[in-house]
Amino acid sequence: MSAPPNDILLQFDRVAYRYPDGNAGLDGCSLDILRGSRNALLGANGSGKTTLFQHANGLLRPSGGTVRYAGQAVDYGRPGLRELRSRVGLVFQNPDRQLFSASVAEDVSFGPLNLGLDDDTVRRRVAAALAAVGLADIGERAVHHLSFGQKKRVCIAGVLAMQPELLLLDEPKAGLDPAMQADLLAILDDLHGQGMSILLSTHDVDFAYRWAEHIHIMAAGRCVASFPAGELPHRAAELAAAGLPLPAVIPLHARLAAQGLVPATPFPRSTDALLAMLPKAPQPKETPCTIA
C-alpha cells in the first residue's frame, strides 16, 4: 500500500545529475522518505548515495527530474534553500568538507546563528549538541587539531544544533570507535523518539537490518529497491545485484531453523534476537547431597 502523499517528507522523482566532467551521479533516481521514519540507504561505492544526499538539502541541483520536500518542489532561490537547509540537516561523509571554523564551538554555532537565533539560544543549543556527542569539554579547541572521529562528532553536533526535521547522515559510523558508534545509535534513537525523520547511508548491512524501518538500495545512480526492513530476507537477489551481502543473522537463522532449533518465523533482525529464540537449556536437576 502506498503512503498518503502528506506522509512523504522527501521525494526524489526521476532525479538525474551529471557532474561537470560528464560523470553521471544520479540517473533517474526515485525514492520516498516518510515523515518520522528511520531509513538506511545501502549501495556499493559510487552508486550515488552522497550525490543523493547533496540533492536532498539543495547543495546540488538536478539536471533532470524533481526533488520535493513536504510536497513542494525545492525552490533553488536563496530564501528557498535557506528554508530547506533549516529543515534538512546533512552530516557529510568527509568531516573535512564540512568543518571550516577555527574552533569547535564556532563551527557548531554557525548553523544556529545563520537561522537568526539569539545568542542565548545559540549558546544553549551548542552546549547541548556538544554534550550529546560527548564533546562537552572541547568547545575551545582548534578544529584542525582534532582526530577524524572527533571531527565527525563535531559535524554531527553542528547539525543537531540546527534541530532539523530530517537528519541526513552520510556514513555516520565510518571512523567512529565502538563506544561512539553505540553513543551515536542512542542519539539517533532519542532523536527519532522525538519525531525526527532520519536517512543514513551505510555499508553495514547488519546494522541497517537491525536499525532501519525502511531500506533503500542504490545502484548506478538509481534507487533500485525500497522496502520495509522486515522484507530483507526475501531481497537477497536485489542485495547481491547491488554488490551487498545479506546480514549475517539471516543465513544463521535459516540454518538453525532448518535443523528445527528455532522457529522459522518471525525473522530475527539481530544476533541477540536470534539467541533469544533458542530454547533455554534444561537446568541440571539438583541432586540431594548425601553424606555417607
Ligand X SMILES: Nc1ncnc2c1ncn2[C@@H]1O[C@H](COP(=O)(O)OP(=O)(O)OP(=O)(O)O)[C@@H](O)[C@H]1O
Residues that bind Mg ion (CB under 5 A): 49-50, 93
Q: Which of 11, 39, 47, 98 binds ligand X (CB under 6 A)?
A: 47
**Residue nearer to Mg ion on the CB measure, 59 or 261:** 59
46 binds, among Mg ion, ligand X, none (CB under 5 to 8 A by kind): ligand X
User: Is 46 a residue that touches ligand X (CB under 6 A)?
Assistant: yes
119-132 and 104-114 helices cross at what angle (nearest 10)?
130
Query: How many residues form the binding site for ligand X (CB under 6 A)?
Result: 13
Q: Which of 1, 6, 21, 194 binds ligand X (CB under 6 A)?
A: 21
Neighbours of 104 (CB within 10 A): 27
48 binds, among ligand X, Mg ion, none (CB under 5 to 8 A by kind): ligand X
**268 phi and psi angles, rounded to 5 deg:** -70, 140
Neighbours of 292 (CB within 10 A): 2
Q: Give the separation between CA 206 and CA 239, rounded to whole angstroms.
A: 13
Among the residue ranges 48-56, 129-137, 145-153, 257-265, the one whose residues contact ligand X (CB under 6 A): 48-56
* Rounded least distance, CB 113 to ligand X, Å: 29
**Residue nearer to ligand X on the CB measure, 50 or 197:** 50
89 binds, among ligand X, Mg ion, none (CB under 5 to 8 A by kind): none
Reduced to 3 states, what is the DSSP secondary structure of residue 200?
strand
Among the residue ranges 15-23, 102-110, 132-140, 177-185, the one whose residues contact ligand X (CB under 6 A): 15-23
Which residues 92-111 are close enough to bind ligand X by CB under 6 A?
93
Q: Give the separation between CA 134 and CA 44, rounded to whole angstroms.
A: 31
Q: How far is CA 262 from CA 209, 267, 272, 275, 283, in A?
A: 20, 10, 13, 9, 19
User: Residue 79 corresponds to which amino acid?
Assistant: P
**Residue nearer to ligand X on the CB measure, 43 or 247:** 43
User: Is 43 a residue that touches ligand X (CB under 6 A)?
Assistant: yes
Torsion, CA 3, CA 15, CA 66, CA 43, rounded to 10: 40
